[in-house]
Chains A and B, each alone.
Chain A
Amino acid sequence: MGSLTRLGMFLAEEGGEHGGGGVEAGITSGWAVENVWLILVLPFVAALLIVFLGKANEKWGHRLAIAMMGYVFFHGTWLWILTMTDGVLYEASYVIGDLGSGFAFELGWVVDGLSSMMFFVVGTVALLVYIYAVGYMKGEIRYAGFFSAISLFAGAMLVLVAAPNLVQLIIGWELVGVASYLLIGHYWEEKENSSAGMKAFYVNKVADVGLILGAIMLSASVGTFNITGILDAAEEGAGELSSVAVVGALLLFFGAMGKSAQFPLHVWLPDAMAGPTPVSALMHAATMVTAGVYLLGRMFPLYEGLAADARPWIMLIGGLTLFLTGLIALVQWDLKKILAYSTLSQLGYMVLAMGAGAYTAGLFHLFTHAFFKALLFLGAGSVIHAVHSNDMRDMGGMRKPMPITYWTFVIGSLALAGIPPLAGFFSKDEILAGLTHAEGPSTAMVLGIGIDTFFFWTAVFGAAITAFYMTRAVFLTFHGEYKGHGHPHESPASMSAPLVVLGVFSVGAGFLNVPGVFTGMTKWLEIRANEFYEFHPESLDLGVALTGLTAGVVGIAIGWWLFARDADTQAERDRLHIPGLYPLLENKYYLDDFYLAIVAFIKGPLARFIDWFNGHVIDAVINGAGLVGVWLGRAVYGVDQKGIDAAVNGLAGAAGASGAVFRRAQTGRVQQYAAAFILGVVVLVISFVFVL
């Protein structure tokens, strides 16, 4: 049986006040936590300065970006070390505007276990990606602009992560979106790329409706945008919040589904591959896609308590995502797309864990995944850089010319496949274990089976799929014969060094949380201003661990059996020609077509109808009224000028002259209109007087 960890044991009794005063073994003041604004501001400084450097930016742009991110890395690591040693809890907010009725817009930062973990992850991965990009992007168009946009990207993510209130979270959230638009569409000369950027931005914008409405609903019910304040209210459970908590929480989750690319809003992420590979690495590892999971973590006390009924839906979406998107990865030829679909699948795991109430498990997987997924993407980029193609049919045999890339890629793949003692094994095991220990609404029975049990086996099956497609990718890319043209060689040190560093993390990160041995991650992530329960095992559950491991080994074995034996012909029989299923997967369940049809309808018939309505219905009324006014004015004018005997003449003249209406001198016409309207006003005044 699992145990309930009462977080309050770690925090002092009154820990719940903003600023987190009174945390026992904690740091609540000091230079490091009081100056987190540096982390938030410096990336933006870099982004701006690069734009204004002018001609010098080709030489200095990347250095500036790396210097600023270097500082973020340093400060973030410092905070993480403080968290690991003493525990940190700090919150600062500065009012940027009062809206009235007690609502104030604020900017600030929160330093607690969750945010300092994110500072560390974002700082580390971003710095490595920047360094890698110096080599990768060399000679590419808009080299400096790339570093400006990627600084904006990381900066926005940091603003999001640090947010002490929902408004700042939204600011960071949407800035991440716009930065992704810039980066994915970096090569915007091709329509395909700009469309991919637009799609990412747009799908996220749709999801943001949920985030914004959810934020409004929760904030308006509590009377503050402050997250700690909202979670405090959730803890007390009384008042208006309790009636909207579940709906509000689901709306926030809808927002999270956009950024964290959950089914059926995942469609933007595979297309996001149009951006340069370093962008993919950053986006899939530390920034952007982690935002949704982070949001669930940040608001976890709400999902755990008052909005617990939202959790089964979160599990459902997470479970669907991990399974459905994993299947698509099986039929991909593009190396980056395999990794993209694997990211989707892994995000499904994280969301599933959050839905099951396994807070640490979900975030721990975010942590380990950040390292090995960044590693895999940068490794893929290294290969792509060498062969100038994304297609695995142009690769093969790359292990010989690119040994560093090969070995680090294998480490990343094994970590992703969940093979011990690499990082992915521990975090995935934690999720599986979390599912076996789920409680409350997360164990609801549907069709005679508990959803926790059902999704446990889904996750196990997903693990086997993961292991299989990663094995396929490794063999098609690195083994067998080289099928491309040109002479690939190992990438320069600026690219391979980040691979090695990430490789080390991918090996070691898992040991931060081994149930029953060392549960540091659990303890650190629970350093929060709000109390909550979460479900996690006290000791390593051997049964669960072996089940997960078996799934991974089976996946690898099948992959080995299919692709390792005769590497030369592997391309021929890679197609899993399962009638019905294969086209379904290749067309990504036809979701893109479905969405495109909706967009085409809105942009086409619907918009055209509105435009027609505007010109031919509303304007017809207006113009008709104008025409009547003209006739009226003409008639009055005629009566006035020529007397009644000339009325017939006047009318005839009016009919004849109506063709000349718009060719008349301007002043004359205005007088006519004015005459008509003054007449109208007189009529109105008279009727007004009569009415009174």
Chain B
Amino acid sequence: MKDVREALMVGRNTEGKLVRRPLSPHLQAYNMMQMSSATSIFHRATGIALGAGTLLLTAWLVSAAAGDEAFSVVQALLASWIGVLVLMGFTFALFYHFCNGIRHLFWDTGRGFELEAMHRNGRMVIAGAVVLTVAFWIVGFLVW
């Protein structure tokens, strides 16, 4: 034991065997089909995905600043079928994180925690994200 904090990281499992506790509850600790845990896990997952998506944002802006040649390469990449597919994923992640973020801010006011309300606002978040994503791409394909 290198660190006294390690002492807090050891516990016993149901068989009485000593095991190392996970730092934070990992995915296997949750029933992932529950509205509470599913929306929370997905919030974190979309946050990380959007973090990766900032690479695309950076590529878009930097190539535009660099010149026509670089920009046309990035433009072609984003307009390819795989680019569009990736962008569709990112728009859904963005709208989900946006809607569930509003839910979190609402929770910060101390409201909406009752099981029934939590299920209802969870469904609203998922519906909102789907509707916004579909609307975005309908408008996107119309103006493209």
A and B form one complex: no
Q: Enumerate chain B interface residues (CB-CB to A < 8 A).
A: none
